Amino acid sequence: MSITASVPEIQQIKECPKIMSLPSEIFDEVFRHLKFDKRSLYSCLLVNRFWCRKVVPLIWRRPMPYNRKKNNNHVDVGVFIPYFNEDERIGIIKGGITIPDRPRPFFNYAQFLHILDIEGIEKAAKDWLAKVAKGKQGANSDTTRSDEIIVTNITIDRMSENSTTNAMVASLLKMFMRCAINLKYLVLNPFGGYRDIPDSKIFIEGRPGLTNLRKFKIRFNSLSVIRPEHRKNIFELLNALPNVCTGIHHLDITRVRVSNPDVARMVGGVIRSQQQLFYCRFCRIDGDVDSLISMLRYQVNNLITVVFDDTDLDGVSLEPLAQCVKLEALIFRKCRNVNLEKWQILINAPFKLKLLHLSDLNDLDPDVTKAIIEKAGDNLEKIGIEMRVVPSNLEGLEAIMSNCPNVMHFSMKCMQSHIDIKTIVPIIDKFQSLTHLTILLGGQRAGTYESLVELSKINFLRLQYLELTCSDLSIEGLNFFLENCESPLTTLIIDSISEEDLEIFKKFSRERGTLKWLGVEHSKPEETPMSHYDFLKKITNLAEGLFQAFPARQLRVREKYM
């Protein structure tokens, strides 16, 4: 058989546009969809210089996230040192660090930072100092005492180790405030119960610094009382922030104890001063919660999403929400004292909800559930609900079916032993526009073969995201469901997987051509001694490029509570 191309075929090949002739914006859009897929980004990095310049800013958006479960996710902060200015170099020298002799990187990576995580920077600095110390100790093992730490050619006592770390962190932060022209997100999370952040002037006076901030999260690792004598710099920064930045869109206040008027004024001032605040989350707030919620009255023309997470709403008025004309998303999760009296204030409010999430509300009256759903009506597109007591839940689900026909995202959690997938199939079948479906069940027979066969009878025409988290999920039933599934599924999340089960998903991917991501909640201990992350990397390799496997939490839809 001849493999010589015909003249028309050769002409067609010549006329095909070269990939490099595509507009630069096309590459930006393509790579943007890979920003959470570091493995693919690193591959793209090596193609050519043009791709390298496009990919490097994505890789260095958040180089120092702090994650206790992964100890090797920090960059070598030494790559920033060649770009330190004189003041920043002097700072680390005074801290006992000799500037290492290393080549200047091709990029000043600091300019690409979008997210600044204070705790992550401190952890990365400690890791770097420890590696330098370990290398030096290895070279001087005969003379190094166990109670000393070596930093390049400087020996410091354990007592001054914190000052060395602080010096490195301070210089890094100064550099970031000076160079990070794309900085949009600050995570303010100091270590420990009474740890402070570095000098507040670094953040207040640094330019461009925080002037272009769009997202801000303040998170303490404990509900310890915030006292000026322990956290002077945090007080100064939060007090000055309304004058430094007024463009925050997304505000997350977590684990803050509103113990006195100073704390209420300090945190409340941040809420009040923003000119375009459309998202606000209160998580594990303790003390005078009402004083913070009352500050929302200054944002009634801006707020789109409000989240109450693991907070006691006793004595808290929701009246500020009743004035929010643009409110579209309302989330109550693990909250106490969400009663009908509170909700009645919102019944005649001008907003139209598109997203509603109610979960882990132990004392939630069924009348409240019904009233909230009826208020949302046919505007509701995304709903997450938890079933606890059968009679009340049936009322709530019936209210959804009769009042919310346009739901596209449906998430349901139920830990009742007698509830299985088959029980809720009639409800799900009413939602003809579903694109995202999450079912979390705790019963011993929740995910039986019969239940999944029943689920397969629903004609999901648009379903792209499916999460079935049942501890006893029948793999045979899942196989039957996938064989009969006509949905354009791109993301599938299950509780666990074994290598023997993999062929089921590979077959579905080959036949449908849509599956890209497989999320797994847990690894089976009996299957592998390796870590969950390593096991899923192995699964990805065995998938032969058909899809990639990740921990379930990394693949859950962007709406955090859905």
Query: Which pLDDT value is given to residue 346?
Result: 85
Span 255-264, average pLDDT: 84
Q: Given the DSSP bridges, would you call strands 382-387 and 465-470 parallel, antiparallel or unpaired?
A: unpaired
46-56 pLDDT tens trace: 888 888 998 99
Encode burial over 89-107: b for 16+ CB neighbours within 10 A, e otherwise: eebbeebbbeeeeeeeeee
Q: What's the sign of the alpha-carbon dihedral 395, 398, 404, 406? A: positive
Residue 508 tokens read as: 């579905």
Which amino acid is present at 550? F
Number of neighbours of residue 204 by Cβ within 10 angstroms: 18
Which amino acid is present at 499? E
Q: What is the dihedral of CA 151, 152, 154, 157, to 10 degrees?
A: 20
Span 17-44, average pLDDT: 77
Name residue, tokens 């921990």: 551
Q: Is the pLDDT of residue 9 over 80?
A: no
* Residue 356 neighbours by CB under 8 Å, 6+ apart: 329, 330, 331, 372, 373, 376, 380, 382, 383, 384
Strand-pairing partners, residue 358, are: 332, 385
CB of 201 closer than 8 Å to CB of 149: no
**pTM, entire model:** 0.82
Higher-confidence residue of 409 and 162: namely 409
Backbone angles phi, psi at 528, to 5 degrees: -155, 140
Span 481-498, average pLDDT: 91
Q: Is the pLDDT of residue 402 over 80?
A: no
Q: What's the sign of the alpha-carbon dihedral 368, 369, 374, 377? A: positive
301-326 pLDDT tens trace: 999 999 999 999 988 999 999 999 99
Angle at CA 426, nearest 5°, toward 421 and 431? Answer: 105
CA 287 to each of CA 226, 319, 322, 430: distance values in angstroms, whole numbers, following the listed order: 12, 19, 23, 43
188-212 pLDDT tens trace: 887 555 678 889 999 999 889 999 9
Name residue, tokens 């890979």: 34
Query: Which pLDDT value is given to residue 138?
Result: 54
Q: Given the DSSP bridges, would you call strands 548-551 and 382-387 parallel, antiparallel or unpaired?
A: unpaired
* Residue 552 neighbours by CB under 8 Å, 6+ apart: 467, 469, 493, 519, 520, 521
DSSP string, 203-259: HHH-SSTTTT--EEEEE-SS-----TTT-HHHHHHHHHHHHH-----EEEEES-EE-
Query: Which pLDDT value is given to residue 67?
Result: 55
Name residue, tokens 């990394």: 554
